[in-house]
Amino acid sequence: MNLEGRLPIKGLDDTYVMLVRRVNLDIMNGRAKATLESHAASVKRTVRNCQRYGKTPSIPVRGPMPLKDTIGMGLAVEMIDLSLVAKGRINLKGYIQYDTMRKPRATYSKCWESSPIGVLEGSSFGKGMNKSTMTACPSQSATFSLFSIGAETRMGVQSEADKPVHIKTVIALLRMIKEDAISQAGAEARELWKVGAAIAVAQMGSLRGPEVFMLDLAGIRAHIEEGRHGVVPDSPLDDGVDLFDAPHVYLAMIGQFKGETGVREHLVAVASESKSGINVRWWLEKLIQVREEENCISGPAFGNSFGEVAKQRDYNEVLRHFLTLLSEDPNCQLIMKDDDIHKNYSFFRTFRKTAEGRARAAGLDSDIQNAMNRWKKVERAKGRRPKFNMVDHYSTVRDLMPVTWRYSYVQ
């Protein structure tokens, strides 16, 4: 009645009614069982006590309820249905993640905001950087929040994120790719050099897969000579050590980054060579040479001769090929034979997680990791980050050298 303005029809609405019941169960599951039992016992006790001396219990009336959907039941029904029919990617049983099921809530909220009712709710309360908006959107109701909590509790969370590798594995990968590229010729060799450079960049820059393919060839070329003749100071990881003249090289990335709007160019200064022996400057210079052979001096650093950006899945195949060779080497214990390489390793997060692990092992605090990984200290300082031109951006990057250089050096 609340959703369709009529009673359910047997045979026609059986699935519909089943979905409503599932939503109700998830709403109940949104509270701890002990909490529900405690509230129920308190209500019964209040009624008994009031009967003893003739008082009407101070409990809000239980009805009649309004004949409309004020709690987001319709949206919840659609989300439950999605959890049953969406293509599962979590396991062989075909289940989906709760994060997939909850996506319609965001869409519904945006549709509400742009509706005649939502437009009239434009007022908000603000204090400092915080802002709160009063809304009657059913997807923001307390009952719908309980449904969301209950559904997530019932479904659970099963992550299939990429695994990190040992830094010795990264070194071995670069060595194997270099040896294979030297033995090859033409396009095959050039692709191997590119994959090797991508691995070095991802590890030293602590980059996610998509960010690796945002590297800008012209930006790298423009700054490749900077920091070439630097000298590593004594105890470079100590606080207060001047790293201005330390050997470094710049990663230039262009694109739309997570948490940003519009297209920006980022420069990140990293150590020319890490403690473990990853010479990212050498790999970047090799990348520039390879791209020159393809008559490319601008555009994506990792691309083809037509100026098109490379596909992550192609690089993943090369990465997994060499990881498989490592797992099959009886003298190498870096990758176990029973490890599911295709499932557990890719450019998307493997090298990012490896870099984070190295940073933690070196004792670098979370502020340094955040500054390196997401550039929070630059982008979120004093509100929104302005659009720097390259000169201003370059000087800001040099200011961040003590942070980004240390992070990359410990790799």
Q: How many domains does the chain have?
A: 2
Q: Are residues 374 and 395 in the same domain?
A: yes
Instruction: Calculate ∠ Cα 345-349-353, nearest 5°.
Output: 100
Per-residue pLDDT, 306: 85
Tokens of 145: 């929040």
Share of the chain above pLDDT 90, in %: 55
Arithmetic mean of pLDDT over the chain = 85
Structural domain of residue 208, as residue ranges?
Answer: 167-409
Kind of pairing between the strands at 248-255 and 130-133: unpaired
pLDDT tens digit sequence for 277-289: 999 999 999 999 9
The answer as to whether 9 is a domain residue is: no
Dihedral class, residue 370 (left if φ above 0, else alpha if ψ from -120 to 50, else beta) = alpha
The answer as to whether 2 is a domain residue is: no
d(CA 276, CA 281): 14
Per-residue pLDDT, 245: 87
The answer as to whether 162 is a domain residue is: no
Q: Are residues 397 and 289 in the same domain?
A: yes
- Terminal C-alpha separation, the chain: 62
Q: Are residues 24 and 122 in the same domain?
A: yes
Instruction: Say if CB 250 and CB 269 are below 8 A apart.
Output: yes
Q: Are residues 208 and 334 in the same domain?
A: yes
pLDDT tens digit sequence for 215-236: 999 999 999 999 999 899 888 8
Residue matched to tokens 């990984």: 373
Residue type at 326 in one-letter notation: L
Q: Are residues 199 and 318 in the same domain?
A: yes
Q: Are residues 222 and 369 in the same domain?
A: yes
The answer as to whether 137 is a domain residue is: yes
Within 8 A by CB and 6+ apart from 285, the residues are 224
What does the buried/exposed string (b/e) look like for 43-56 if buried means 16 or more CB atoms within 10 Å of the residue's CB? eeeeeeeeeeeeee
Q: Are residues 116 and 174 in the same domain?
A: no
Q: Are residues 179 and 311 in the same domain?
A: yes
Last residue of a domain, which of 155, 186, 207?
Answer: 155
| Residue 350 clears pLDDT 60, i.e. is over it | yes
Residue type at 218 in one-letter notation: A
The answer as to whether 160 is a domain residue is: no
Q: Which of 400, 372, 403, 370 is nearest to 388 (CA)?
A: 400
pLDDT tens digit sequence for 96-124: 888 888 899 999 999 998 999 888 886 66
Q: Are residues 303 and 172 in the same domain?
A: yes
Q: Are residues 248 and 333 in the same domain?
A: yes
**Cis peptide leading into residue 64 (ω within 30°):** yes
Q: Would you say the pTM of this structure is higher than 0.85?
A: no
